[in-house]
Amino acid sequence: MSRLWCKVESSGRHLPIVLNAVLVFSITAEVSYLVLVEAPLEPEQKKTEWSTMWKAMHLFAQYFMLGNITWNASLFVKTNPSIRGVFLGGDALGQGWRYCYNCETHTPPRCSHCYDCNVCVLRRDHHCVFFGQCVGFYNYRYFLTCLFFMWAGLLYAVVMNAEVFIVILKEGVTFHSVLLLLMPWIMLVSVIKHLLNE
């Protein structure tokens, strides 16, 4: 039973990364569909005609953001933020150095222990539950760049879906339209809350 639990625990470490990848690629696929199909939202509307150049610009911008999100997320995950393997002994220890009893090593100033990763991280910001790794000195720029391109991609998706929201709001604010807008967010928050309580 313990071997099975170890396999589940080791494969479960990559679950946040897989879920984030599915989310990012599904948003990209949805916006690609909007750009390529140009389907009207209402039956009496005629199909909008976009030029080939306009479509190419949209798809280039979208896949540029997707490539940057994927590249920076992979660099973030591959970069080890811990100080494991760094050892200074004897007189090399400077002022402000402490001893971490969990890692059984000396740690430099502004280094703190992460109990989720079970390592000491230099300039630790926080433990990111979406990527399952600490944000520290060595991977901070990849994390911020990934967040920036995710923010830009979501803003782009909101702009591309503005027509959908306008059609929903034109029908009137009903219980059904509020559920259509809020249900994905409620599901996301409940899944995150469930994962954090585990």
Taking the C-alpha atoms of residue 104 and residue 100, their distance in angstroms, rounded to an integer, is 5
Q: Which residues have a Cβ under 8 Å from the Cβ of 119 and sit 6 or more positions away? A: 81, 82, 83, 84, 103, 113, 134
Taking the C-alpha atoms of residue 90 and residue 94, their distance in angstroms, rounded to an integer, is 10
Can you say whether the dihedral through the CA atoms of 132, 136, 137, 141 is positive or negative? positive
Active site residue 128: yes
Instruction: Confirm if 86 and 136 have CB atoms less than 8 A apart.
Output: no
- Provide the terminal-to-terminal Cα distance of the chain, rounded to the nearest Å: 19
- Report which of 17, 8, 16, 24 is spatially closest to residue 194, judged by C-alpha positions: 16
Taking the C-alpha atoms of residue 196 and residue 147, their distance in angstroms, rounded to an integer, is 21
Catalytic member of 120, 128, 134, 146: 128
Amino acid at the residue 50? W
Catalytic residues: 128
